[in-house]
Structure 1
């Protein structure tokens, strides 16, 4: 069951693969371009993120060093001067940090934890402990400006005068996160330092693929794909013409040879096809001339023999000779007819096979009795009209002649046309089924009806169309003939 299910999955996947060379090349090209862009974009994004992290760490390291210098400066001031210095800084504005002395540590809603945030916070703590000592009590976190709280009264940022905190805590319109460092400098006294992350490193979240990179990939594929599709279509157009010419194989002199254009390989194949077509034309012309010569040359001695037979006085002998001459003349005519029926001079065109079969059925109708029945429907089939008519006519005629009735069933499938012909005759011995297509082969030596050429001609016509003709015995008696013609 597992093998069957995997086989079904492969067949379903294979259905999505285009059948044309153009479609497959475009699909492979699209997959290759997508794979190359994914790999290059992944490498570019990895490099971009590494550069962003490196710049962010360097920026926060500088902020931490400035914060440690500010803490050292306030620790060096007498306590009675600290508030005076803070008031002067606020009145002056323009400082990198918003600094205040609070009597407690202020709790705020921090940014969500990310790998980049943890990396930056570890760097800030490392610098502060290195500059201020490992025994200090400090708290570092990052908050959004909307969640920022300032002073002992925990005022929001909008409640302060713009001259106090605008420069240090806002960076419009980016509105970056604010690094808040709170350090206990004395008992019940916390130094509060807040500063916005400077541009361009203003994000602590993992960034996705930048929009400009996606736009670049889309624009590149949108430009290259149509150009590539046009180029491949131009290169495969001679192949389509060659396939159409091979299918139709026009052998009349009025049809010009194919133009030798395209790549070197396609030109070589087209040249070989034109050479083959010329050789076939020459071969068929020589064969026709040969059969015409044979027919012409045989008519004269047969006529002379008939005249001489008329001079024979022995009646039994004369009748036997006349029968032999009649049989000889009939064999010559049948040989010529066989050559004509299997000829491939016709050009292919759409043929209404269903209408052709129903017309044959009406021709065999007599006295209200239908000896030929036709079931099913089919679209037009591209083939050689007269050759197909001879092929189907031989099959129907053979079924009616030896099996009394012919039941025809049409099956029109996406890739082929199948025609079944069944009769109610005696059938054919299994050991003789393989010889039934041989010329002049008949089941009984005394059988005078027909010359054993019809089925051979039908099979040759089917093979000329790329199809096949199969004959088998029916379980209930009679023959079952299956004609399969591919749809191109």
Structure 2
């Protein structure tokens, strides 16, 4: 499974490529087997006809007086009229045959068997295929190419594409061998024995490539809508309200686009209504709280008045925190290319002007972000580090297409079991409350919300040398 492509386009393309290759392989195996069987049948039938003709010619020459044979052979060479090139030698000639194959063996054996069966008495017979340029025609070693063209033009093919020649040698008498050279009825019958020739392979390869290219194009066309939906969902998850998906294309995509657009609209309405309701309630609560504080001043009992003031102050802090959370988390601005190193440098300079110790290092790195929102998140993290850890160190780096910001303080650190609860509203650890009474415990939650809206992540860990280590990872902006 690890070898499979991760994208849907890659997997569908791989399946189609494997299917086309398997189909081609099976079809070629079946077609090759059938073609070879057909070639064997046709070659055997042609060999029987050729063997019968050779038997008839052999009987004819055997019936002639020996001194008549040269005269008749000379007439045949000049006038034609036979399918064989004929000669008479005192002994069989040694021939350099072509490469042996199942088809040539079948033809040679069939010719010999048919010829012997057609003779009136047993005789020594041999049959062999020879290429024209290597064919020897007499005992003197003369080759076919040295003969006059008119001797062979009616019987053999020499140019432009030579065909293999079947040479049959039959013993007529002592020191008298009949030499017959002929072409098969299909001179290029050996081509049928090789179904996977270069030209056929090239044609199949061209067909395969065409089918594969069309298949990959169709798969790409079918899966492109999924990329559109994925991009829209990712943008919506990062707080960007994209344009509604176009409801055009295949029926399935139109249905999916309509469902996605409706879902997006419902979620956006829910978020807007929740924020307005939350902000309105938090804002409206401040008036009755102020009114209750004034009325508590009229109480005669000092203890009761102090308790009322304490409860109302706590309620006021919670309302202010709620308003701040909505305000800081809902900064409406467009994303732009932002130099993260320059932003960190400005935050460090502001902290130094306030008398804090901040050191930072890192290369020039760019992210696509909402400048004010990201500044608010990093400011909260740096403010926490300086309040609870005395001094801070910031390191910027790049890893696998992501920008990493490491922020370390030199405070007491955080118990491992308390990491998850730190992001919850109004949660503060004991040492934090002792060092800073006015805090509300919202900074980490707001920072993580903003980082997640930018497609990043925020992690907490204790540094091995002491203090808390905050790691922020953000997608790096493309060039």
Q: TM-score, normalised by structure 1?
A: 0.84
Whether the 8 Å contact between 2:132 and 2:145 is mirrored in structure 1 is no
2:466 is equivalent to residue 477 of structure 1: yes
Decide which of 417, 420, 440 is 1:451's aligned counterpart: 440
1:92-123: CA deviation from partner (whole Å, max 9, x where unpaired): 22321111221122112221222322222222
- What does 1:183-202 correspond to in 2, within 5 Å? 183-202=170-189
2:449 is equivalent to residue 460 of structure 1: yes
Report what 1:40 is aligned to: 27
SS in 2 for 1:451: coil
Whether the 8 Å contact between 1:116 and 1:205 is mirrored in structure 2 is no
- What does 1:197-346 correspond to in 2, within 5 Å? 197-203=184-190, 206-207=193-194, 209-210=196-197, 213-221=200-208, 223-225=210-212, 227-249=214-236, 256-308=243-295, 325-343=312-330
2:63 is equivalent to residue 93 of structure 1: no
Decide which of 402, 410, 415 is 1:424's aligned counterpart: 410
Structure 1 stretch 60-69 or stretch 46-55: which is displaced more?
Answer: 46-55
Displacement of 1:331? 2.5
1:49-108: CA deviation from partner (whole Å, max 9, x where unpaired): 333333233223222221111111222233343333323323322321111221122112
Report what 1:7 is aligned to: none
Whole-Å Cα distance in 2 between the matches of residues 285 and 369 of structure 1? Answer: 39
Displacement of 1:431? 3.5
2:144 is equivalent to residue 142 of structure 1: no
Report what 2:111 is aligned to: 124
Whole-Å Cα distance in 1 between the matches of residues 22 and 302 of structure 2? Answer: 94
Residues 367, 387 of structure 1: CA spacing in aligned structure 2 closer, same or farther, 3 A cutoff? closer
Whether the 8 Å contact between 1:248 and 1:347 is mirrored in structure 2 is no
2:160 is equivalent to residue 173 of structure 1: yes
Structure 1 stretch 127-136 or stretch 193-202: which is displaced more?
Answer: 127-136
Displacement of 1:193? 0.9
Whole-Å Cα distance in 2 between the matches of residues 461 and 389 of structure 1? Answer: 10
Whole-Å Cα distance in 1 between the matches of residues 42 and 381 of structure 2? Answer: 86
Decide which of 415, 423, 447 is 1:437's aligned counterpart: 423
Structure 1 stretch 127-136 or stretch 85-94: which is displaced more?
Answer: 127-136
Report what 2:374 is aligned to: 388
Displacement of 1:376? 4.5
- Between the two structures, name the one with larger relative contact order (CA 8 Å, sep ≥ 6): 2
Displacement of 1:426? 0.7
Residues 133, 484 of structure 1: CA spacing in aligned structure 2 closer, same or farther, 3 A cutoff? farther
Whether the 8 Å contact between 1:257 and 1:274 is mirrored in structure 2 is yes
Whether the 8 Å contact between 2:238 and 2:454 is mirrored in structure 1 is no
1:147-190: CA deviation from partner (whole Å, max 9, x where unpaired): 11123323122332333232223254331111111111111111
1:289-334: CA deviation from partner (whole Å, max 9, x where unpaired): 3233323422322333454566789999888866665554333111
SS in 2 for 1:249: helix
Displacement of 1:263? 2.9
RMSD between aligned alpha carbons? 3.5
- What does 1:362-401 correspond to in 2, within 5 Å? 362-366=349-353, 370-381=357-368, 383-401=369-387
Structure 1 stretch 311-320 or stretch 243-252: which is displaced more?
Answer: 311-320
1:366-416: CA deviation from partner (whole Å, max 9, x where unpaired): 4998514133554424x4444333322222222222112222233433354
Whether the 8 Å contact between 2:405 and 2:472 is mirrored in structure 1 is yes
Report what 2:389 is aligned to: 403
Residues 55, 368 of structure 1: CA spacing in aligned structure 2 closer, same or farther, 3 A cutoff? farther
Whole-Å Cα distance in 2 between the matches of residues 393 and 295 of structure 1? Answer: 24
Whether the 8 Å contact between 1:94 and 1:168 is mirrored in structure 2 is no
Whether the 8 Å contact between 2:239 and 2:453 is mirrored in structure 1 is no
Whether the 8 Å contact between 1:357 and 1:374 is mirrored in structure 2 is no
Whole-Å Cα distance in 2 between the matches of residues 206 and 410 of structure 1? Answer: 70
Report what 1:3 is aligned to: none
Unaligned runs of 5+ in 1: 1-9
SS in 2 for 1:380: strand
Whether the 8 Å contact between 2:359 and 2:392 is mirrored in structure 1 is yes
SS in 2 for 1:120: helix
Residues 65, 322 of structure 1: CA spacing in aligned structure 2 closer, same or farther, 3 A cutoff? same
Whole-Å Cα distance in 1 between the matches of residues 242 and 28 of structure 2? Answer: 54
Whether the 8 Å contact between 1:365 and 1:372 is mirrored in structure 2 is no
Decide which of 26, 30, 47 is 2:17's aligned counterpart: 30
